[in-house]
Amino acid sequence: MNKMQAKKRIDELRKETNYHAKKYYDDDEPEISDFEYDILMNELKNLEKQYPEFITSDSLTQKVGGTVKKGFKKVEHEVPLQSLQDIFNFDELYSFNERMKKSAEEFGKDLKYVVETKIDGLSVALKYENGKLVEGATRGNGQIGEDVTNNIKTIKTIPHTLKEEINITVRGEIFISKEDFEKLNEEQEVLDAPLFANARNAAAGSLRQLDSKITEKRPLDIYLFNVQKIEGKTFTSHYEELNYLESLGFNVNPVRIYCNNIDEVIKAINKIGDDREKLTFGIDGAVVKVDDLELREKIGTTFKTPKWAIAYKYPPEKKETILKDIVCQVGRTGQITPMAILEPVKVAGSTISKTTLHNEDFIIEKDLKIGDHVVIQKAGDVIPEIVEVIKNKRTGEEKEFKMPSTCPVCGGPAIREEGESATRCIGIECPAKRLRNIVHFVSKEGMNIDGLGYNIVETLLEKGLIKDISDIYFLTNEDIKTLKKNGAKFASNLVTAIENSKQNGLDKLICALGIRHVGTKTAKTLARKYKTIDDLQSASLESLAMTDDVGEIMAQSIYDFFRQEQTTDLINKLKQANVNMGIQEENKLDNRFEGMTFVLTGSLENYTRDKASEIIENYGGKTSSSVSKKTTYVLAGEEAGSKLTKAQSLGVQIITEEQFVSMIQ
């Protein structure tokens, strides 16, 4: 590679690493694995080392990734929260050891190490004054972080008061355990919310919530791994510090191995690698630190990293096996996912006998056939994945796989819509979707049954008190009061809420049914046009497609939904329960907005979007999600985005919240 080629590649790597660092640190939405990111950073470091004239201050080799999220107060760290230099093989570890040995000999010190797990989470600093927690901050860019004190205080394993009245700042890693992460994603799936990419992503997103009530609901945990600053006490060794932190009442990294020499370090790294499947928390490597604190001071740091510590990243392990079969599983949203059944093989410390194939496109892209010899890979705690087909081992007896046209669980239609990669069961009584369908049915957007949340629905199903949506309307006080200690009042309130929900308007029922693509706004439109559930159920595809705000794809989805035997069965059961099946008289104040269409963008100071939309509809107007020449007004709040820009380009009249208030008074 010549000088010009090197500069071009450095520029490419800089752009790529900055993009992925933003997705990882700021957006909490990583698009590539940690290992893939580390490889890019390693290539950039090596090229910059070879061509130092191309190093610039904006390169991530010169700083820590991460910025302060809008809405959080900035915190300047008294002691920088540095990152670690990564290594990928034992040759690099031996080179590190030689540097440390040289320094230890120069300063007349014994060289000992501590090896710890590198926990896959979000780094924070906790500040205590007189033993009381006064501040919690994210790492940010290492110098400036985010004040997340209120969120930190919701984490049960972080003490608010220490066992000694001491001034101390400590550093730790916020994480979500493997088991809790699986449960969290299960709940996200039921609520039809986006799944978290990994446990680190979930932990970071949960801690960096502007609303601490959301953080409190997330299963966050912490392990401490460093004393940043302390008053009135001195220590000689890092290992001693960690034991002291434990005595104060902190959760300290449970995997910390004292090592007398580099051979013991390698044994410790290998042991952590062998045992990482048994750990309750995710890791993305092992950290090797010089134990002697005075020696650390003499060795020093760079602007970004300490010279006395290093992070060993476990390389992804690849193994060959046989794809014995492909079977389909139905998720809680109805998504049908093909699963590879593999000849069991041990990879990265665990025996792998099956793995997800994601969707039909993945199978086509990899050209997978049942009976193929395949290569699977598992990097650290990442889910194993088929990365390659060994086509030269094909015998001709391999079989093609086709996605099913009916749900393997309930036999209902399995549909893949145009432009989507997923195939879905659309049966409303499918047992696989039961929890998700019921939770949606009773939600605020649906029938709005107060007190009947995710956990209660899950318990009702587990106890066999309900089997489908309609069973909710036949629950008794006796059924419900067993769910909670002293649950008589809870049961009485819930039975009342269930009974009251029977009187909801048709729009609430339509939305509650969970028809794909149909939300609250479209449900209101359909209710106004068809008046009763029977008329909607018998509507033709052409009639549906001609409805305002209903396109061809949505019309087809509604039409298909109401042609199913499962849908008819459920509606008949709801009729037997005396659930209202018709439109209610709308509470229109007057028709001042009749014939007008509003688009809302940005955040309003005095109204939620839903409340503003309700007001517009009560005055005879309509709201739309997109701006066009037919739009009458764009109501623009704070941080209005592309809709405001489009309105300006089309000459659509833009009004402020103050003007909107004047229009409705």
Average confidence (pLDDT) over 396-403: 95
- The two beta strands, 373-378 and 317-330, are antiparallel
Strands (DSSP E) contained in 584-624 are 597-601, 622-624
The count of residues in the chain is 665
Contacts of 96 (CB under 8 A, 6+ apart): 87, 288, 310
Res 391: pLDDT: 95
- 403 — phi, psi (to 5°)? -65, 145
Q: How far apart are CA 486 and CA 579, in angstroms?
A: 30
Structural class in CATH, domain 74-312: alpha beta
User: What are the tens digits of pLDDT across the range 525-536?
Assistant: 999 899 999 999
Q: How far apart are CA 360 and CA 335, in angstroms?
A: 12
pLDDT at 21 over 60: yes
Res 35: pLDDT: 64
Query: How far from the centroid of its chain's Cα atoms is residue 532's Cα?
Result: 39
Q: How far apart are CA 357 and CA 326, in angstroms?
A: 9
- 400 — phi, psi (to 5°)? -75, 150
What does the mean pLDDT of the chain come to? 90
- The two beta strands, 597-601 and 350-356, are unpaired
User: What are the tens digits of pLDDT across the range 205-248?
Assistant: 899 888 888 899 899 999 999 999 999 999 999 999 999 999 99
Q: How far apart are CA 190 and CA 515, in angstroms?
A: 15
CATH code at 3-54: 1.10.287.610
User: What are the tens digits of pLDDT across the range 293-310?
Assistant: 999 999 999 988 999 999
Q: How far apart are CA 138 and CA 470, in angstroms?
A: 47
- Give the containing element (helix H, strand E) for 210: none
User: What are the tens digits of pLDDT across the range 447-456?
Assistant: 999 999 888 9
379 — pLDDT class (breaks 50, 70, 90): low
588 — pLDDT class (breaks 50, 70, 90): low
Q: How far apart are CA 508 and CA 519, in angstroms?
A: 10
Average confidence (pLDDT) over 473-501: 92
Of the candidates 145, 159, 168, the residue with the CA atom closest to the CA atom of residue 81: 145
Bridge partners of 203, per DSSP, are none
User: What are the tens digits of pLDDT across the range 54-79?
Assistant: 887 667 776 555 555 556 899 999 99
Of the candidates 353, 152, 178, the residue with the CA atom closest to the CA atom of residue 186: 178
Structural class in CATH, domain 317-393: mainly beta
Annotation: CATH topology of 426-576 = DNA polymerase; domain 1 (1.10.150)
Q: How far apart are CA 191 and CA 188, in angstroms?
A: 5
11 — pLDDT class (breaks 50, 70, 90): confident
Greatest Cα pair distance in the chain: 89
Residue that has been written with the tokens 């195939």 in this structure: 423
Average confidence (pLDDT) over 245-257: 96
Residue that has been written with the tokens 């230099």 in this structure: 85
Of the candidates 561, 553, 516, the residue with the CA atom closest to the CA atom of residue 536: 561
33 — pLDDT class (breaks 50, 70, 90): low
579 — pLDDT class (breaks 50, 70, 90): very high
Cβ neighbours of 551 (radius 10 Å): 12
Active-site residue identified among 23, 112, 118, 643: 118
Active site residue 118: yes
Of the candidates 307, 319, 341, the residue with the CA atom closest to the CA atom of residue 84: 307
Bridge partners of 225, per DSSP, are none
486 — pLDDT class (breaks 50, 70, 90): confident
Q: Tell me the CATH number of domain 597-664, given options 3.10.150.10, 3.40.50.10190, 1.10.260.40, 3.30.465.10.
A: 3.40.50.10190
Res 72: pLDDT: 83
pLDDT at 115 over 90: yes
Res 62: pLDDT: 66
Res 548: pLDDT: 80
Average confidence (pLDDT) over 609-634: 89
Report domain extents, the chain.
Answer: 3-54, 74-312, 317-393, 426-576, 597-664
